[in-house]
A and B are shown apart, each in its own frame.
Chain A
C-alpha cells in the first residue's frame, strides 16, 4: 500500500504531522510505520493537547512513591505497604458497545495496577449518561453496569463505590471511568523502564486478534452518524484470562526475574514496547512471527495495532526464561520470546525475516507533537436574584421527597447490587457510603476510596468546578474518618481544537491543581479523554477525581447513618445560602444559569482538618458531607441509613428556610455527637474558628420540622430507593 498524505489523514494525523514524520525519518514511512506513528501520536497516547497544562499539577508529596508517568500512581501507607491506583476512561467504546466497552475499561485499569506488582483490592467507577428521557439511556446504563459487573465480578475484585450522573449533555457521549486500587509491598513495585542490553522480551497472555485495531485513534475522534460502523474497533474482554494473567504475573513477580513489565493497553504492542524502550533509553527488536496470533495471515500492521485484551510485555533477566515459562504454562497462558533489547535506541520489527519497521524511539515519544492550543476563559456568571416569591408555592418536605427521587440524588442500589462488593472479605464500607472502605488484608489499616465529578459546576465555571471536585473528594474521605492521601484524575472533555472546550480543560485543570496543592492532596496518576463530542455538541466538562485515604485502625471508621436517639446533630461550616447551580435551583426552580458555589480553600482545609481531629478524639458518632441537595438531603440520607429521625430545631438563621436547607455551599459536614461531649466539641470548633450551627436532636423514625411538618423515614426510603429500579423496569 502506498503511503501518502491522504492515507496519513485517514489515520487521524494532520498534514503538518505527516510532514514532520517524513522529516524525522528522512523518508516516507511504510504502512506499518505509519500505523505506529498514528497510534503513538494520537491524542490518547501522546497527550499532545494536554501535556503543557498537566505539567502544572502538583504531583509530589511525602507519601508519593510514584507520580504520573507510570502505569499507575503509588503512595505509601506505612509498614512497607503501598497503594497503587489509577482511574481511566473508556468512553468511546462504551457508547458504541456498552457491555464490552465498560468491561474492557475495567480490565484495562486492573492490568495497569497489577502490572506494577499490586494485587487489585478494590474497583470504583464514575459513569455519566444522557437524560433519563433519552431513548438510549436505559439500554446504555444496563449494558455498562453489566459490563462493569461482568468483568470485576469474575476477577473477584470488589467494586466498592462509584458515582452516577444523568445529564442531557451526555446524550451522544456517555462517560465510563474505571478506577482500581491495588496493594503492594514497597520493595516489590514493578516499573515499565527496560534496562540492560540483549535481554529477552516476552509476550504473555491472550493471543493477538484483529479486535481493537485503531481503538486509540477512535478514542481521539468525534462521533458522527456513522458511529455504529466503528463497532469492530471495540475490544472484547475475557475476564477469566485476565484472572489467570493476574495470578501468573503475581507469581512471577514474587521472584526476581522481571526487569520491566508493561501491559498492552491502548495501541497494544506498539505503545507497550515503545514505552519500555523509551523509558530505558534503549532499543527493542521484535520478531513479529513469534507473536501468538488468534487469526490467520495477520499483517505486521495489524499485529502492532491490535488492542486485543489481557496481554503483557515483559523484559526478563537472561536465563530466567524457563522458570517464567513454567508459571505461564501452569496458568495455561501463551508465553513467547518475541525479541530483545538493543543498544540501537530504535524500534526494529521483523516479519518473515524482512525488516518491516525501523523507527528511532525518540521520534515517537520525545518528538511527538505538543500543542499550545488556543483557549477561551469562562467568565464567572452573575448570581441570580432569589427572593421569597420563588419559594411561595413550595413545601419543604415535598421538595425533599422530590430531591430524594431525583436521578442524580436517588439511591443507586439497582446499580451496585449488580457488582460484587464483598468478595475478598475486607469490604467494611459498601457502595452508597461517602467512601468505600476495604481493610488492608490481615492488618488493622483500611483504605478509603471515593470517585467524584461535578459537571454542572464545571460547566458553569470551570475554574471553580475544578477546585470543587477535589474538595468534594477530600470531604468524602474525611467523612469516613480517613486521612486523605492523594488523587487520580480522569479528565473528560470535548474537542480540544475548539477554544471553548480547550478553555474548559485548561481552567478545570488549573482549579484542580490549585485545590490539590492547597490541600496537600497530590495528583499521582490519571488520563485525559478529549473529543467527547457528537457532531457539534460537546459534553459538559467532566473531570472525575478518584481520591484515596488511610484509616489507621479500621475500627475507628465513621459511617453516615445516625446512631442514637437524643444525640445532637450539627452542621460544621458556614451556610451562606448559595442556590445557583444547586439541584434545587436547576431541577425544581428550573434556573439553570448562575455561578457554582464558591470554594474557599482556607475554610475547606480548616473545616476538614477540624472534623478529622474531632473524629480522632472519638467525638463524632456519624458524619456526612453536605453536597447535592444541601442540608436537608444530607440529613435525610443520614436518617435513611441509620433508620432514625431528627427533630430539626428552628435555626438562628438570617436567611430563608429554603435557602438554608437547600443551598450547596461548600466545605460543610453534618456530624452527630453525644450530649455530654457538646462542651468539648464546641470548644475545639471555636478554637479553630470553624463555624457551626446546631441542627437538631435525633429521634425515632420521623423528620420533624414543626408540628405540622413531618415525614416518616419509611416514606423517605421509598422515595430514595425506588426511583432507579422503577425507571429501569419501566
Chain B
C-alpha cells in the first residue's frame, strides 16, 4: 500500500505519521507543499502541526497551498484522504469537510488522552475494527468543532460523524467533551466516507510504552481494509 504525507512549513507531526504508517506496512512518501503532483497513493495524509504558523485561521493558508489542488482532485476521485488535527482543520478550510474548528472552550491548549466512540463502521477506516471505543491522544488549541444547524442536519442525514468524545465506558456527555465540540464530534467524514478528519492523534499511540496502543488498532485495521 502506498501512502503520502504532505509536509507544510510548520507541520510537526509529519515524521510521527511517517513512522506510524511504515510500522503498519505502508510504503510512505513525504510530499513538499510546493510540489504540484501527488505520487500514486492509496492514502494521503494531512498531518498535525501549525501549517504556515497558523497565524490566520488554522489551516487556512494550507488550504491555498500549491499541493492542495492535487489533494482535492485525489479526494474527489474517491481517494482516501486522512487529516489529523491541523489536517482536520485544513480539510474544513478547503471545504472538503463541513464546519469549522474553533478555539477550545476554555481557550487553552489541551494535551491528554481521551476516549472516542466509533460511530460509523461502513467505511475503509473503521470497517471490521476490533474495538468500538478507542483511547487516543489529543493535543490542540482549536478543536472545538462547530457547524450550522443546516450543516448538522446534513451531517446526520448522511451519517458523517466518524468518532465522538466519550468516557471510557462509551458514554457521550459534557464531562467527556474536552473542547466544547458540538455533539462531542471528534472526527468527521465527507458524504462518501473517503475523507476523514480527526482531532485525536492515532500516530502517537502506536505502542504500549507511549500514551497507549489504540492507534495501532486504527492503523492495523486501515491497512487490512485496503489490502
CB distance from B20 to the nearest CB of A (A): 8
Asked if B137 contacts A422 (CB within 8 A), the reply is yes
Asked if B112 contacts A417 (CB within 8 A), the reply is yes
Query: A422-B111, A423-B16 are contacts. A240–B10 as well, Cβ < 8 Å?
Result: yes
B118 adjacent to chain A (CB < 8 Å): no
B13 adjacent to chain A (CB < 8 Å): yes
A726 adjacent to chain B (CB < 8 Å): no
The winner among B16, B53, B111, B211 for most chain A CB atoms within 10 A is B111
Asked if B108 contacts A425 (CB within 8 A), the reply is no
The winner among A154, A156, A427, A428 for most chain B CB atoms within 10 A is A156
A16 to B3, CA, bound (A): 68
A418 adjacent to chain B (CB < 8 Å): yes
Q: Which of A146, A155, A241, A428 contacts B12 (CB 8 A)?
A: A155
Contacts of B141 in A (CB 8 A): 153
B139 adjacent to chain A (CB < 8 Å): yes
Asked if B9 contacts A425 (CB within 8 A), the reply is no
Contacts of A423 in B (CB 8 A): 12-13, 16, 48, 139, 204
CB distance from B170 to the nearest CB of A (A): 21
A695 to B177, CA, bound (A): 41
CB distance from A567 to the nearest CB of B (A): 21
Residues of B123-182 whose CB lies within 8 A of A: 137, 139, 141
Produce 1/0 per residue, A152-175, CB < 8 A to B.
011110000000000000000000
A395 adjacent to chain B (CB < 8 Å): no
Contacts of A425 in B (CB 8 A): 15-16, 19-20, 203-204, 206, 210
A76 adjacent to chain B (CB < 8 Å): no
Asked if B210 contacts A417 (CB within 8 A), the reply is no
Asked if B211 contacts A422 (CB within 8 A), the reply is yes
A155 to B109, CA, bound (A): 14
CB distance from A195 to the nearest CB of B (A): 33
Asked if A418 contacts B53 (CB within 8 A), the reply is no
A418 to B138, CA, bound (A): 11
The winner among A238, A241, A425, A554 for most chain B CB atoms within 10 A is A425
Contacts of B19 in A (CB 8 A): 425
A156 to B141, CA, bound (A): 14
Q: Which of B55, B112, B203, B204 contacts A240 (CB 8 A)?
A: B55
Residues of B197-218 whose CB lies within 8 A of A: 201, 203-204, 206, 209-211
B26 adjacent to chain A (CB < 8 Å): no
Residues of A237-252 whose CB lies within 8 A of B: 238-241, 243-244
Asked if B16 contacts A424 (CB within 8 A), the reply is yes
Produce 1/0 per residue, A218-247, CB < 8 A to B.
000000000000000000001111011000
Produce 1/0 per residue, B1-27, CB < 8 A to A.
000000001101101100110000000
Asked if B210 contacts A422 (CB within 8 A), the reply is yes
Least CB separation from B13: chain A residue: A423
Contacts of B20 in A (CB 8 A): 425
Asked if A154 contacts B137 (CB within 8 A), the reply is no
Contacts of A332 in B (CB 8 A): 9
A331 to B10, CA, bound (A): 10
A687 adjacent to chain B (CB < 8 Å): no
A555 adjacent to chain B (CB < 8 Å): yes
A549 adjacent to chain B (CB < 8 Å): no
B74 adjacent to chain A (CB < 8 Å): no
A107 adjacent to chain B (CB < 8 Å): no
Query: A149-B109, A425-B203 are contacts. A156–B137 as well, Cβ < 8 Å?
Result: no
Least CB separation from B203: chain A residue: A425
Contacts of B111 in A (CB 8 A): 153, 416-422
Asked if B9 contacts A417 (CB within 8 A), the reply is no
Asked if B49 contacts A156 (CB within 8 A), the reply is yes
CB distance from B53 to the nearest CB of A (A): 3
A426 to B210, CA, bound (A): 7
B50 adjacent to chain A (CB < 8 Å): yes
Least CB separation from B211: chain A residue: A422
Q: Which of A238, A240, A422 contacts B139 (CB 8 A)?
A: A422
Least CB separation from A155: chain B residue: B12
A729 to B20, CA, bound (A): 38
B110 adjacent to chain A (CB < 8 Å): yes
CB distance from B23 to the nearest CB of A (A): 10
Asked if B139 contacts A153 (CB within 8 A), the reply is yes
Asked if A240 contacts B109 (CB within 8 A), the reply is no
Asked if A418 contacts B139 (CB within 8 A), the reply is no
Asked if B50 contacts A154 (CB within 8 A), the reply is yes
Asked if B53 contacts A417 (CB within 8 A), the reply is no
CB distance from B200 to the nearest CB of A (A): 11
CB distance from A237 to the nearest CB of B (A): 11
Asked if B139 contacts A331 (CB within 8 A), the reply is no
A149 to B104, CA, bound (A): 15
A374 to B1, CA, bound (A): 71
A425 to B111, CA, bound (A): 13
Asked if A418 contacts B9 (CB within 8 A), the reply is no
CB distance from A645 to the nearest CB of B (A): 21
A residues neighboring B (CB under 8 Å): 146, 149-150, 153-156, 238-241, 243-244, 331-332, 416-428, 430, 439, 554-555
| 8 residue pairs A–B, Cβ–Cβ below 8 Å | A153-B141, A155-B12, A238-B53, A240-B10, A244-B9, A420-B109, A422-B204, A426-B210
| Given A146-B108, A154-B12, A418-B109; 16 other pairs, CB 8 A cutoff | A153-B111, A154-B50, A240-B53, A241-B53, A244-B9, A417-B111, A418-B110, A419-B111, A420-B111, A423-B12, A424-B15, A425-B16, A425-B19, A425-B206, A427-B210, A428-B209
8 closest residue pairs by CB, A with B: A156-B12, A240-B53, A425-B16, A420-B139, A428-B209, A154-B50, A418-B109, A422-B204
B residues neighboring A (CB under 8 Å): 9-10, 12-13, 15-16, 19-20, 48-50, 52-55, 108-112, 137, 139, 141, 201, 203-204, 206, 209-211
